[in-house]
Structure 1
Amino acid sequence: MSMNGHFKEVIPVDMYTVQLCGVLHEQDKKVMTLLYQPLVGAFAYSLFMTWWQEADAYKRSSHQHLMNITQFSLKDIFEARKKLEAIGLLKVYKKEDEQSREFLYELQKPLSPYGFFTDGFLNIYLFNRLGQKKFIEVKQSFLTEKLAKEEYKEITSSFSDVFTSLHPSEMVAKGYMEISDSTEEHLFDERTDNQEISLRSFSFDMDLMMADISSFIVPKEEITDEMKEAIMKIAYIYRMDPLEMSAQLQNAYHLHGQLTVENIRKEVQKWYRFENNDGLPSLAVRKQPVPLKALHGKEPATEEEKTIKFFEEVSPYQMLELYSGTKPIEADLGIITHLMVDQKLPAGVVNVLLDYVMRINDMNLAKGLVEKIASHWARKRIQTVPEAINLAKSEKKKYAEWQEKKSASSYKGRRGAAPSDSNRLPDWLNEEQKSSSEKSGQPEEQENKKWLNELLKGL
């Protein structure tokens, strides 16, 4: 960009408004100062902190005002803004007409200390910036000692200890309908915290589970703190009590000779299907949450909106079922669980990812490719279907390179083998390809179009 190239993007009289995506806490200030500032620089850090304070006021301001209070040039502000966008701390929206241009700056929550130091990208970037010694010092500043709870007896009151249950006469249907309507249609605040799935409402007695496990069958050192966290998530998904989980842990260790998250999931899935007549945990059939639906309560007017509506109204389980024509296999359901629990991607976003990978990979759900793209989307904090589609469009060259590496690895050593010519991009990702295929009238394309139309009729 030339010295004055930023004036094509923003000028001093352009207005802007700042809002927060979620709630920023004191801990986030420390993360911003010690972890993000070395990566984005002082200008970008200062700009973020300034906008943080302005977000509370929620008023329109001009970029000239921003130049005055920061004492930065417009060029410095624009370059700092770009850094915040690139690192996932800012989303920018623009509306303009012939007379004016206005921006909405939406601040994103920084990663938690744990999320940052296990990111696999930002932590390496910070290590290279600070050097080993300083990196370790900064990392240790976020470590906290926990008191040994074994010396204490828990006396926390439960809900039922404090609050009385409702009398039947108080349970008026109309009132509950109003509660449901108000929370879905008129949200108090649609901004999301982008935090991990909360397990606080799910009671799981880890001590009881540990006490029930025989040390003759499973050595206690096999169950690490990291393993316990994974066990909690699995128990949450499948609604297991401690004794049920204990039995499956012992079964997994007996059959496989070691405890891994994958082995535990495999045995729990078998157990769950047996106990529930081949039923599914509720997580696998969830759909896009209402607050994250771009077309909630709206009729799609364009082909693109029909596609978005489709991804928002089906579950990932239904997506896999539609592709295979039968019940999804356990391995594929495990991938969905990983995407929704570990990567924290909503159901609609998972649908976009599944559709993309299946289409470019000859209808095979390649776990490695799925996880690589999912990790990228999670870092970008993708939460809605339009966001997922737009990012896939902008990054399709990068994903193609990942796919080529995977294909080269898969076919290495197989004489005469070559990647399938049937691999193609989804229609929603390549509009030019879509129009050309429609003109050609190929049977496969016509069949796909008919299939999608039938699906949309049923929504």
Structure 2
Amino acid sequence: MTVHFQEVVPVDTYSVQCKGMLHEIDHKVLTMLYQPLVGAFAHSLYMTLWCEVNMDRQTQKHQHLMNVTQFSLKDILAGRKKLEAIGLLKTFKKDGDSSREYVYELQLPLSPNAFFTDGFLSIYLFNRLGKAKFTEVRESFYIAQTDVSEYKEVTASFSDVFTSLHPSEMSSKSYAEINENVLPEDVSLHEKDIHGKVVLSESTFDFEAMVNQISSFIVPKEVITPKLKEAIYKLAYIYQLQPMDMSKQIQNVYYSTGEITAESLRKEIQKWYRFEHEEGLPVLALKTQPVPLKALHGMQPQSKEEELIKYFEEVSPYRLLEDYSGTTPSEVDLKLVAYCMIDQNLTPGVTNVLLDYVLSENDMKLAKGLIERIASHWARKKAQTVIEAMTLARDEKRKYKEWQDKKVNSGSYNKGNKKSNVTVPDWLKQDRVSADQTGDANTDTTEDENRKWLESLLNSSK
């Protein structure tokens, strides 16, 4: 058998943490239900550790715990084991050079209902207390309930009291603060098993009208579960969606994923709302590459290619389109930018490379089919930086060249085609051998090849 000093000695340190707060009923449960099972000292040790959670101390030596409880380390270890065994404590250990560090994570006791329906702890307590005392203790937790079957519920719903938020109050900053990185990694929020539930009046949304507008060929009726129905009411109220709008969002989610949950629907509606109200087309297109994804942030370019990388990283897609046309980008072009950044989740820098690539290769035209095809491909490749996107563009060019050579060799192209005005950007030419080096390259032939490649891509994307 392991002796206690092999597990813990007075100089070993410990810290205490928890994931909730003890409430009045918890104190009664600990004293009346757990104490008969673990004993008075283990119960006292548990309450002592709870007090230390609130003293805001980082670490203590076990000698301190011995002084506070006036028990030996052997007794403290025995009490700790009982708390661990009954589910009131989790212990974590890290071995150091000269001592060990422990983290004691306190667990909340079961609720009275959970304890007496446990099937194990309740039987153990019954054997400890006997039938008469067990019944007396259990009855002390009873809460008298009035029969309300003959009463009419008149509880106010959330929508009866509170008004929905205006679009101006639902900014992108709010979304980020609520849903992204709310908590540091080393903290958690207090939890409570039983809590009130927000209920919305069904009169706030015509659920049947929404169901009637959902195609049964796209979304089977059984997909709309009671839990999803509850989420639909809340989302419709928060985002002020009409039945038709909600039916479209449901069909979009199910069509793209083959299933639908409250969370996936919330994300789809949030994306739609941000696009329609707060982050409209111009605002979205004005975003620039995030600083952590900038390869040349705070650096001076040392080559022509680095100048182009810097440009893609610093300008927004909106500005890039302005630079190309010299005028305000059209709504059609901005919708393609939104598709890249919202639907395919491409970063602004990657979107810039894609726009430059297609404009250069397609006679200054943004073809919807080509944009969508390349954007989805780059999204699957998880391209996030400008350099990654440029590498993918060069790879596309190389693959096309290989395919083109086969076509030319088979004589499938008409050599008399008219020359195009396509200008290929310098960064796409990196892997080519220059005309001065080879002495036999032909610029007209290159541009003709580019045009034919784009024609084939556009035809295949229709």
TM-score band, normalised by the shorter chain?
0.3 to 0.5
TM-score normalised by structure 1 residue count: 0.43
Q: Which has the larger radius of gyration?
A: 2
